[in-house]
Structure 1
Amino acid sequence: MYTDWTAVALLLFTTVPLLAVVATAAFFIWQQKKKQQLR
């Protein structure tokens, strides 16, 4: 089975930074929520 590696690479290069941004944003929101709950 043949896979287009350039397409796979492009997909990874576009999704990985996006996922990283989403993960960091979610982490910061979670930290803020945790801080608010401590009050």
Structure 2
Amino acid sequence: MLNPLYNGIFYIYCVFIYILNLTKKTINKYLFLINNIT
């Protein structure tokens, strides 16, 4: 009963970290482009 819940929380945590890293990369790309244009 506890194991599926733990797996679910772990999965959500992994997805959260993945999205966070993706967002960081995207923001860095946009900042890089803006700095080059300016």
TM range (shorter): 0.7 to 0.9
Matched-pair identity in %: 3
RMSD: 1.3
TM-score, normalised to structure 1, is 0.73
Superposition map of 1:1-39 within 5 A: 5-39=2-36
TM-score normalized by the length of structure 2: 0.74
How many residues get paired? 36
- State the 4+ residue runs in structure 1 displaced beyond 6 angstroms: none
Unaligned runs of 5+ in 1: none
Give distance in 2, aligned partners of 1:10 and 1:38.
42
Query: Which runs of no fewer than 5 residues in structure 2 stay unpaired?
Result: none
- Structure richer in helix, relative to its length: 2
